[in-house]
Amino acid sequence: MLLGVRRYVGSCRRAGVRWFKAEPVAGPPKLPKEDQEEFERLQKIAQSQEAIDAYNREVEGDSTKESLNSPLLTKNDIGSFSPEFTKTLPEFEGDKNPETGEIGGPKQDPLRHGDYSFNGRVTDF
């Protein structure tokens, strides 16, 4: 009886073993050794601070990319709107809207353009 149990346990253990050869997975063909070394060298350069500094020096000297160095773009606070979106001018002074009598409401009618927007930006999605 013990011999039969050993055969049963032994056959269960072999059931999880794969008896077939797996095919190689799809992928790009391998590069020749020289090309692979050049690729790795270029990757290291591209990921280093040296490449970023070289690009920044190139942009500073290039007059065609002067808009990147524009004071309007470089002096903005993070999260603020671009300079072309000026501050909205109020339609009335004080807290009370003279047309509707609303107290503490918006200084401009947000429904003037058909949607709830201020300065062309929709605020009620």
Q: Coil, helix or strand for 96? A: strand
Mean pLDDT across 15-36 = 76
In this prediction, residue 66 carries a pLDDT of 54
Q: What residues does each domain of the chain span?
A: 31-81, 88-124
Return the half-sphere exposure (C-beta side, CA atoms, 13 A cut-off) of residue 121. Answer: 10
In this prediction, residue 56 carries a pLDDT of 79
Q: Coil, helix or strand for 100? A: coil
Mean pLDDT across 96-107 = 80
Q: What percent of the chain has pLDDT over 70?
A: 44
In Å, how far from its chain's centre is CA 9? Answer: 54
Model confidence at 82: pLDDT above 90: no
Mean pLDDT across 103-125 = 67
